[in-house]
Structure 1
Amino acid sequence: MTDRIQDRIKAIIAEQAMLEPDQITDESTPQDLGIDSLGLVESIFAIEEEFDISIPFNANEPDKSDFDISTMGTIIAAVERLVAQKAA
């Protein structure tokens, strides 16, 4: 399940960044991928829709939210956590 979530997130981000999914690493930041703040918001909406989850509105402030958007790895981990919480 985790690999599938990761692949789906990378596909969403890749589409926004106009890249191939294999060009996205866990260490990539949205800025590294050329995603601006509007693109990041669009990506978050697409992720919410894809997984039927709600990402906290303050995700851009990791000290106030447990959803960290600083790298692709942290985004993937946070989405996996929300998907697991929803399934429980």
Structure 2
Amino acid sequence: MADSIKDKVIRIIAEQAVVEPSDVTMDQTLEDLGIDSLGLVESIFAIEEEFDIQVPFNANDPTDSEFDISSVAAIVRAVEGLVADQKA
């Protein structure tokens, strides 16, 4: 069976954090995982490529973005929403 959106997002985040996907929990923040601003941008690019979506993300001011990066769960929800919008 194909990986779910959640599994793919966690794999991308785990790669950036240099940890196993099983070590990533939904309530963690990117900061918890040791992902800095450059890692965040690389994660966003990887997510866009993996799902063929455009993430509305302002790298200069992540807090002023439509893309919620407050936790792994928030990122998964945001990606699921963008993928659903793309299919609509």
TM-score where L is the length of structure 2:
0.89
Compute the displacement of 1:57 (Å): 2.7
Q: Any residues of structure 2 matched to 1:15-26 within 5 Å, and which?
A: 15-26=15-26
The residue aligned with 2:41 is 41
- How far apart, in 1, do the equivalents of 2:5 and 2:80 lie? 7
Stretches of 4+ moved more than 2 A in 1? Answer: none
Contiguous gaps of at least 5 residues in structure 1: none
Residue 11 in structure 1 maps to residue 15 in structure 2 = no
Amino acid at match of 1:72: V
Identity among equivalent positions (%) equals 61
Amino acid at match of 1:16: Q
The residue aligned with 2:63 is 61
TM-score where L is the length of structure 1:
0.89
- How far apart, in 2, do the equivalents of 1:7 and 1:41 lie? 19
**Can you list the C-alpha shifts for 1:14-66, whole angstroms capped at 9, x where unaligned?**
1110001011111110000000000010000000000000111337225x52x
**What's the C-alpha RMSD, in Å, of the aligned pairs?**
1.5
How many residue pairs get aligned? The number is 84
Match of 2:53, SS?
A: coil
Amino acid at match of 1:76: V
